[in-house]
Structures are given as C-alpha cells and as structure tokens.
Amino acid sequence: MNLSIRPLKPQNCRIINAAFTAIGWNKPISQYERYLSEQDRGERVVLVALVDDLFAGYLTIHWKTDYPPFRDNAIPEIRDFNVLPQYRRQGVGTSLMERAERLVRERSNIIGIGVGMTADYGAAQRLYARRGEH
C-alpha cells in the first residue's frame, strides 16, 4: 500500500464528493470548495489521504474554531475527519492524525477534537482514545 497525504487541491473536491456519494453519504462538493477557500485564507488545513493514488480519506484542522472553550483558549480543532470504509484499519486514519498533530505542534501544544457521541462515530472515538495513550 502506497499512502500519501497532501493538502486539498481544487481537483480533489469532485473526487471526494463522488467517493462519498458512492457510499451514500451526503458530502456536497460545495463543502470541499468552501474548505479549499478557507485553506487558501489560512483558516483551515485540509489533509487528503491517497492510497495508491486513490482518495482514501481526509481530516481538517480549523485554526480558529467557533466552539467556545477552544476558541477562547486559541486551541485549534480537528473536525470533519473521514476515512472511507474500505481503507479503515489500514493506518490511513492514524497517518492523518500524525500529520495533523505535527502541523498543530508548530503553532500550539494543545489540540482539540470534535466528535459525535453516536454509534456512527464509533471508529473515530476508538481512534481518538488510542491517540490519547501516546
């Protein structure tokens, strides 16, 4: 498996949208176009994971979150972290998190993570808990 992680590029928006549409997830292309614009303005970083040059997942770092406890303490937040089901448990999510942690470390010694508490977020919850052990 050849895994690479790169910043979001304009051509990725349509590919990401198509990948999630194919599995029945509502992730409109406008969301990724907005992320790209925010990345261009330095408000957000979007890391895209590719396995053998095929889209596998992504993670975003929001530098100035609107979540009050993070915002009030200038804590960057990881939000909107998704790995396609066929690439889970292969190190893609861990690699995205490691890259995000390195980027955040350049600006802050603390990072916040937003995660849902429903069963849909079970894989993310487990990954976050394991990351806390490091």
Which domains, from first to last, does the chain contain?
Answer: 3-131 (3.40.630.30)
Q: What is the pLDDT of residues 48-96, one digit of tens each?
A: 999 999 999 999 999 999 899 999 999 999 989 999 999 999 999 999 9
Radius of gyration of the chain (CA): 14
Q: What is the mean pLDDT of residues 9-37?
A: 96
Distance CA(93)–CA(83), nearest Å, equals 6
Residue predicted with more confidence, 42 or 114 = 42
Q: How far is CA 60 from CA 1, 36, 99, in A?
A: 23, 11, 11
Q: How far is CA 133 from CA 91, 107, 130, in A?
A: 16, 22, 5
pTM assigned to the model:
0.85
Q: What is the pLDDT of residues 30-48, one digit of tens each?
A: 999 999 999 999 999 999 9
